[in-house]
């Protein structure tokens, strides 16, 4: 079924499918039902650390938006990356933005999402204009320091002595809604405070309120916390080598019977299943194979996430077996993306320039003390330094002469 065949109700269902929260849903419904046009929406990403498997979650939603006929903009927020406590130096941030564009397109192609329907925009292409700058000043006159700091608390890197740039970041993200001409902004649940800041303050400078859609955040591989580009131990990079994938998954936190704080089960539920639905173009599709050794019961296949969760909660499914199945699926998911990276020199060049390998500093050679032996003049006589008091007396005497 094409997006043109969908009713406003069906379009809304696809737009909000599997989202934990939607703010101002009526704005979306009014666009679809009263204005009878497609929704305009943007998703932004700041090109800082290397993209990881958590990026599959927003990519799946971009597929849902397109299925609903929405006009989707992908914002490569290069200036935001620079403002985020210098996570990305200005001289390399443009290379990282290009690398992110390659990654986003490769992920979408790997899950059969038509990228020709997406519009990619680099933030600095419009964020350096006089109009945008004036809007920053206007918004700065409406938002207090505390409100700006609170808005970016879950997004901007928090340090003991924060830079002013961290306060500008959420103001710009709010303004992007107006300058990109969208009806809604989409992001992770960690963006909620920035979304609220936009809703409360954009009308104060003459701009309309937008809707906001939030996706789930995939937990990291450790205990607690989201999968983060700035924490290499919490994530699996999009172009990670298979042996590293298996090593990281095998060392991931996965307590027996615990399905609440389990990043691997969350990955199955929010990445593996919805991707299978996209590839099959049919909702409810799920097949999860675990190649379990015969001595432990042999291979097992799950056809629903709930069944898998129930077996893990009752400890019928062990952490070792779950890790084995998840590692196999991640290797499969990333294989076409890694193949495209290996076959595309421009893709590789963007990665190399965006994440240059630091050259180790050469250590200065320590001059060795020569062993003069025991037969040189003065050998055996120990030189005793003068007491500090005697040195002080001599200096005083020198002054009096």
Residue ranges of the chain that CATH labels 3.40.50.620:
3-215
Task: Give Cα 64 to chain centroid, integer Å.
Answer: 20
CB atoms within 10 A of CB 128: 10
Residue among 174, 190, 209, 213 nearest 64 (CA): 213
pLDDT higher than threshold 50 for residue 262:
yes
> What's the whole-number mean pLDDT along residues 81-101?
85
* pLDDT grade for 401, boundaries at 50, 70 and 90: very low
Residues 336-361 pLDDT 10s: 999 999 999 999 999 999 998 866 65
Note the pLDDT of residue 368. 63
pLDDT in the model for residue 18: 95
Rounded average pLDDT over 327-333: 96
Distance, in Å, from the CA atom of 18 to the CA atom of 29, rounded to the nearest integer, reads: 17
373 pLDDT band (50/70/90 cuts)?
A: low
- Kindly report the backbone phi and psi dihedral angles of residue 384, in degrees, each rounded to the nearest multiple of 5, phi listed first: -100, 125
CATH (residue range 3-215)? 3.40.50.620
Asked which of 11-20, 138-147, 220-229 is least confident by mean pLDDT, the reply is 220-229
- What is the pairing mode between strands 211-215 and 71-76? unpaired
The model's confidence at residue 388, banded by pLDDT at 50, 70 and 90, is: very low
Displacement of CA 327 from its chain's centroid (Å): 20
Residues of the chain within CATH 1.10.240.10 domain(s) are: 242-354
CATH architecture of the domain formed by 242-354: Orthogonal Bundle (1.10)
Q: What angle do CA 375, 379, 382 make, to 5 degrees?
A: 165
Q: How do the residues of the chain divide into helix, strand and coil, expressed in percent and rounded to 5?
A: 50, 10, 40
């Amino acid at each position: 079924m094409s997006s043109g065949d969908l009713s406003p109700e069906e379009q809304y269902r696809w737009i909000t499918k599997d989202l934990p929260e939607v703010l101002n849903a009526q704005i979306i419904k009014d666009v679809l039902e009263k204005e009878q046009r497609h929704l305009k929406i943007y998703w932004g990403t700041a090109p800082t650390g290397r993209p990881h498997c958590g990026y599959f979650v927003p990519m799946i939603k971009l597929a849902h938006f397109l299925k609903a006929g929405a006009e989707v903009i992908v914002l490569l927020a290069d200036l935001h990356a620079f403002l985020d406590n210098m996570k990305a130096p200005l001289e390399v941030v443009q290379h990282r933005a290009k690398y992110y564009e390659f990654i986003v397109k490769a992920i979408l192609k790997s899950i059969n999402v038509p990228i020709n329907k997406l519009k990619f925009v680099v933030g600095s292409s419009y964020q350096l204009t006089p109009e945008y700058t004036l809007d920053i000043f206007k918004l700065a006159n409406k938002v207090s320091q505390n409100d700006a700091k609170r808005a970016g608390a879950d997004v901007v890197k928090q340090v003991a002595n924060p830079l002013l740039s961290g306060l500008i970041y959420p103001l710009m993200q709010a303004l992007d809604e107006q300058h990109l001409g969208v009806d809604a902004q989409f992001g992770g649940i960690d963006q909620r405070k920035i979304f609220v800041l936009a809703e409360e303050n954009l009308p104060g400078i003459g701009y309309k309120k937008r809707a906001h859609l939030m996706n789930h955040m995939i937990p990291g591989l450790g205990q607690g916390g989201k999968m983060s580009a700035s924490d290499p131990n919490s994530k699996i990079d999009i172009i990670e080598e298979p042996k590293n994938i298996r090593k990281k998954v095998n060392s991931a936190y996965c307590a027996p019977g615990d399905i609440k704080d389990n990043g691997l089960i969350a990955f199955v539920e929010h990445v593996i299943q919805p991707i299978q639905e996209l590839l099959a173009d049919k909702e409810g599709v799920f097949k999860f194979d675990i190649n379990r050794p015969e001595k432990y019961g042999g291979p097992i296949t799950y056809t629903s996430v709930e069944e898998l969760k129930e077996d893990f909660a009752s400890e019928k499914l062990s952490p070792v077996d779950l890790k084995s199945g998840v590692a196999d699926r991640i290797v499969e998911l990333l294989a076409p993306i890694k193949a495209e990276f290996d076959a595309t020199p421009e893709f590789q060049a963007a990665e190399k320039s965006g994440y240059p390998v630091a050259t180790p500093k050469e250590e200065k050679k320590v001059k060795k003390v020569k062993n003069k032996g025991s037969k040189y003049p003065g050998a055996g006589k120990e030189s005793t330094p003068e007491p500090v008091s005697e040195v002080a007396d001599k200096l005083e005497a020198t002054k009096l002469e």
